[in-house]
Amino acid sequence: MTNKQALLQNNCFLRQTVTLPVPGKVAVHLGQEVKAGDLIAEAILPARFQVFDVLNHFRIKESKLEGSIKRLAQEEVHRGDVIARKPGLISRLFRAPEDGRVVAVRDGRVTLAMGEKSITAHSPINGVVAQLFAGLGAEIMIRGKSIRGAWGNGQFGSGTLIYLENLDEIGTEGFTGKIVFLDEILSADQIEKLTKAKIGGLIVPALNPLEYSKFSQVPFPLMSLAGFGETKTPLPIQEKLAEFFDQEIYLLAREPLPFQAVYPELFLPVVDFKTPELFAETENWGLGSTVQLLGMPYFGTVGKIVELPDEEERLASGVSSRIAVVERDDGTLIRVPLNNFEVLKA
Amino acid sequence: MVSTYLGIELAAQRTRAWLFDNESGVYQLKAQVDEPDYGDKREMIHQVLRELEKSSGQRLHTKHGKLFDINKDKNSSGLKGVGISYSMGKPIRAAIIGVSEKFSLAPLRRLLQFFNVEIVLELDLQKEPNVSNQLETLISTAYDLVVLAGGVDGGPEKALRAVINNLRLVAQLRGKTNRPQIVYAGNKELADYAKLEIEIEDDLYLAGNIQPESGREDLSFAFTAVLKAIQRVRIKEFPELEAFSGDPDIRFLPSEFGRGRIDHWLEQTQINGKGLLHIHLEPDHGHILAVRDGLRMGLWQANDLDQIPIEALKSLINLPVSDFNLTSYIRNKQLHPGFVPVTIEDLNIEFALTSYRIRKLLEGLSGLYDQFLYSPEQGLVDNFEPIMLSGSSLTKFLPLRHSFMAALDQILPRGITTIVLDEFQLMGTLGILAEFDNMLPTQLVDSDAFTSLATVINVVSPNAFRRIVLRVEVDEGDKGYRQHHQIHQSELKRLETMNNHEIRVYLAPERDTDVGMGMPGLGGWVNTTSSSLGIIIDARGRPLRLPTDEKDRQELWHDWLWEMGV
């Protein structure tokens, strides 16, 4: 049986990796509590480098090199300091163009590092440092309830989750910073209205695939629950969302990387939850599990698994696959390949 | 004494395992498992081993439940070795540095793009001679692997010395845990200098010069070093696999390398004078390998559905599909790569996607290697036999005939060829296990572990549409009964053959018609064995003459698929 994880989780961990693109220093320690916005790691890189080839520029012999270089590796230098000097009647100098440090003296070349540029990584959530990645960052963890989505635009946000019946309700005030759940298939022309309202994020049941390029550029976090196509939010997800309304939640609209198990997620932190183990137990799905169907013509709809045959079956397309028999809400039974549904509740 | 070998492949979202032994006197596939996975790779290995233990009765865990129960006594039966191949993991970010585009960067692209590597930085020391700028670029880019090449042995050294100095700084600034793996494959005279200067011990790999003399390129000099560097990057990414890296009874190598090794060996041992082409498609990536006259050419392509132009896909679909449904399928397939097509519409989109991916692989390889001549209109220019197909995108997401047609229509092979399906995805693991006992792949290749899909006879003729181009006589050795067929221009004909028969086919082409027997008009007997689809005679010409009208084109395609029994 495939070990799919349920989309709706009650007592689980949100694990968010926060790392630098290039190595630097990690500013937190294991077990440390952090707030959203706290610095997790920082890389301070020289803003500029200058490599000065003493042999070539001064046109001196290698035997005279040692006497020409006036600074040692790792020495700090100030603007105007003499780094190298060619002796003789007409003396030539190489001076430090800025404050900095000599980082290498090799093979007749002096390398200066000057200025500073800083790259930082901040936590998008409150939580506890659960794991450190040497030189790169940390994993921040928090316990609570989760609703996993299918697609996100790569942005993170937090705020109060509110329900919006339809887009006509939205004004320019009262929505600032709010995470909005809109039970409509979003089209690109609605984005402008939502942007003007300065919402803090948006959750929709599905997106119009023909306008994909516009969705990836919206200025707020955007998550689609089912992916791309036409569907409404099914009842089990609506019920779970109801627990999130009017609460401070995180919308981590990660861009999905299915091969690395990275998905967007809506998360409600709950401090009261207690689990004795560090890792919450995996729930096994099977007969009786509620599932959400992928693919046409049942895209986004839900049902219950009523049968799980052991053998592969030949589908209408001619492909053979292991399947589950799913009873839909209207009582119809359909045979669905195991890969063609997500488990909502185990 | 029975020798048993275990092959394991760690793929994205799947773990596969195979057990081979020579109990019957020759090596055979005893059991195999193919499991989806989403978690810890080491735990997945335990899981597939438990499945194999159940189906084979062979103990693979030690008495204490550890990996693996290897019998080190050469004179008694048991598990003798384990080959772990891997295709999982993010593309390795690589920087390539060379002294010229033609003689160092282009070969380095060929070297690295064989593997699951994304080249994120290219530094041409001729175009960017400023050492300060080189250093800034090297410092500010994120990568896991650097490969430096350039200069013939004994040639100029100055530019290379400067960049080696810079790499020393990069390694120092990044620190021991985060410094990149560095492969030096340039002027041999500087190898020791690089080692002493960069001073990063096990993170530096010295390879032979991939261009030892002007105009001579040999990427094989750098393969071992690159493999070691890749292994180290993967172990950093999956630390749970570290225990496998130093054990002499375990080989841990990329799957694409294993496939390349077997393909190379097959090409070297066959006597038909043709090359070997292998297309491997998985949901997350594709890999193409062509071996010709001992030259191994390969290309790994990540399956980035974002980059697929919808118009290109529409031209490959043989049913009317709305743009909304088409784009929905593609976008959702990206989110759920394991999605299996159920409806006829899904199937047609999946077919188009597969066709497109095969075409991109062929075009990509042709762009990398001058020796691999291909265009989407003319197809392959050179002769390749066999053409191998493998990977779950071809074996699990499409019916056999659709996979065959997708491959045939994009490859457009020349002359007479055989198309073979590696249904159990054995090629990669056989290439790895060959290190223990080379009889294992030899005997497996001779067994029925591979599925012969079809013998394809490609007919190229200047004759007009519907004119006869070829006459065929098929002798199945069945009490003198022979089938006779006439093949017309633009026709795709399937001749079904009976199972377990040696089949002889007599080809009598028209005067200007070329069937790959050496010259136009020349025919003769062709011996072939039975296969799943039989003998396919493709007289559709090059390029395929497709109607411009979408509906007419779809109808024609439908006819061709119908002929294949789809």
- Looking at the complex, does the CB of residue B322 fall below 8 Å from at least one CB of chain A? no
Tokens representing B275? 């090359």
pTM: 0.93
Query: Model confidence over A237-293: pLDDT tens digits?
Result: 999 999 999 999 999 999 999 988 899 999 999 976 565 455 555 567 899 999 999
Average pLDDT of the residues of chain A = 90
Q: Specify the range with the lowest mean pLDDT, choosing from A82-96, B32-46, B147-161, B544-558.
A: B544-558
- Looking at the complex, does the CB of residue B397 fall below 8 Å from at least one CB of chain A? yes
Handedness of CA B177, B179, B180, B184 (dihedral sign): negative
Query: Model confidence over A209-248: pLDDT tens digits?
Result: 999 989 988 999 999 999 999 999 999 999 999 999 999 9
Tokens representing B56? 């084979």
Integer angstrom CA distances of residue B429 from B193, B255, B445: 38, 7, 12
Q: Alpha-carbon distance B183 to B167, whole Å?
A: 11
Residue A120 lies in a domain: no
Query: Which percentage of chain B shows pLDDT scores above 70?
Result: 99
Residue A339 lies in a domain: yes
Tell me, yes or no, whether A305 and A253 share the same domain.
Answer: no
Between A64 and A343, whose confidence is greater? A343
Q: Alpha-carbon distance B400 to A343, whole Å?
A: 30
Tell me, yes or no, whether A259 and A295 share the same domain.
Answer: no
Tell me, yes or no, whether A111 and A204 share the same domain.
Answer: no
Cβ atoms of A225 and A165 within 8 Å: the answer is: no
Which chain A residues touch B330 with a CB distance below 8 Å? 209
Tell me, yes or no, whether A301 and A251 share the same domain.
Answer: no
Nearest by CB to residue A319, choosing from B135, B324, B397, is B397
- Looking at the complex, does the CB of residue A339 fall below 8 Å from at least one CB of chain B? yes
Using the 3D structure, point to which of A263, A280, A298 is the last residue of a domain.
A263
Would you call B566 exposed, middle or buried from its count of C-beta atoms within 10 A (0-12, 13-18, 19+)? middle
Which chain B residues touch A151 with a CB distance below 8 Å? 331, 335
- Looking at the complex, does the CB of residue A65 fall below 8 Å from at least one CB of chain B? no
Cβ pair B340:A134 closer than 8 A: no
Q: Alpha-carbon distance A206 to A217, whole Å?
A: 16
Q: What is the mean pLDDT of residues A171-189?
A: 84
Chain B: give the shortest CA distance to residue A171, in Å. 31
Residue A7 has pLDDT above 70, yes or no: yes
Tell me, yes or no, whether A204 and A304 share the same domain.
Answer: no
Angle between helices B400-411 and B344-368 (to 10 degrees): 40
Domain containing residue A68: CATH number = 2.40.50
Tell me, yes or no, whether A173 and A71 share the same domain.
Answer: no
Query: Model confidence over B470-497: pLDDT tens digits?
Result: 999 988 776 667 889 999 998 999 998 7
Residue B310 has pLDDT above 50, yes or no: yes
Query: Which percentage of chain A shows pLDDT scores above 90?
Result: 68
Domain containing residue A338: CATH number = 2.30.30
Cβ pair A45:B37 closer than 8 A: no
Residue A332 has pLDDT above 70, yes or no: yes
Tell me, yes or no, whether A247 and A335 share the same domain.
Answer: no
Cβ pair B399:A317 closer than 8 A: yes
Cβ pair B12:A53 closer than 8 A: no
User: Domain containing A163: what range?
Assistant: 150-263
Q: Alpha-carbon distance B105 to B144, whole Å?
A: 18
Helix, strand, coil content of chain A in percent (nearest 5): 15, 45, 45
Which chain A residues touch B169 with a CB distance below 8 Å? 103-104, 111
Report the run of H or E that residue B562 belongs to, with start and end. Answer: helix B550-563
Tell me, yes or no, whether A158 and A68 share the same domain.
Answer: no
Query: Model confidence over A30-60: pLDDT tens digits?
Result: 999 999 999 999 998 889 999 999 988 888 8
Query: Model confidence over A75-121: pLDDT tens digits?
Result: 999 999 999 998 877 788 999 999 999 999 988 899 999 998 999 99
Query: Model confidence over B107-137: pLDDT tens digits?
Result: 999 999 999 999 999 999 999 889 999 999 9
Domain containing residue A218: CATH number = 3.50.30.10
Query: Model confidence over B258-297: pLDDT tens digits?
Result: 999 999 999 999 988 899 999 999 999 999 999 999 999 9
pLDDT the model gives residue A282: 57
Residue A133 has pLDDT above 70, yes or no: yes
CA quadruple B493, B494, B495, B500: dihedral, nearest 10 = 160
Tell me, yes or no, whether A160 and A235 share the same domain.
Answer: yes
Residue B540 has pLDDT above 70, yes or no: yes
- Looking at the complex, does the CB of residue A107 fall below 8 Å from at least one CB of chain B? yes
Q: What pairing do the DSSP bridges indicate for beta strands B181-184 and B204-206? A: parallel
Residue A138 lies in a domain: no
pLDDT the model gives residue B465: 77
Residue B173 has pLDDT above 90, yes or no: no
Cβ pair B136:A104 closer than 8 A: no
Q: Nearest residue of B to residue A47 by CA position?
A: B136
Cβ pair B139:A46 closer than 8 A: yes
CB contact residues (below 8 A), chain B span 161-190, against chain A? 161-162, 165-166, 168-169, 172-175, 177-178
> Can you tell me the ipTM of this complex?
0.88
Tell me, yes or no, whether A299 and A340 share the same domain.
Answer: yes
Using the 3D structure, point to which of A115, A132, A162 is the last residue of a domain.
A115
Candidates A81, A109, A245; CA nearest to B166 is A109
pLDDT the model gives residue B350: 96
Using the 3D structure, point to which of A115, A132, A160 is the last residue of a domain.
A115
Sorted by where each starts, the structural domains of chain B and their CATH numbers stand as 3-86 (3.30.420.40), 92-237 (3.40.50.2300), 259-456+536-563 (no CATH), 459-535 (no CATH)
Cβ atoms of B436 and B418 within 8 Å: the answer is: no
Average pLDDT of the residues of chain B = 92
Provide the domain count of chain A: 3
Beta bridge partners of B288: B279, B299
Chain A: give the shortest CA distance to residue B178, in Å. 6
How many beta-carbon pairs below 8 A join chains A and B?
Answer: 161
Q: What is the mean pLDDT of residues B324-352?
A: 94
- Looking at the complex, does the CB of residue A209 fall below 8 Å from at least one CB of chain B? yes
Tell me, yes or no, whether A163 and A253 share the same domain.
Answer: yes
Nearest by CB to residue B339, choosing from A208, A212, A340, is A340
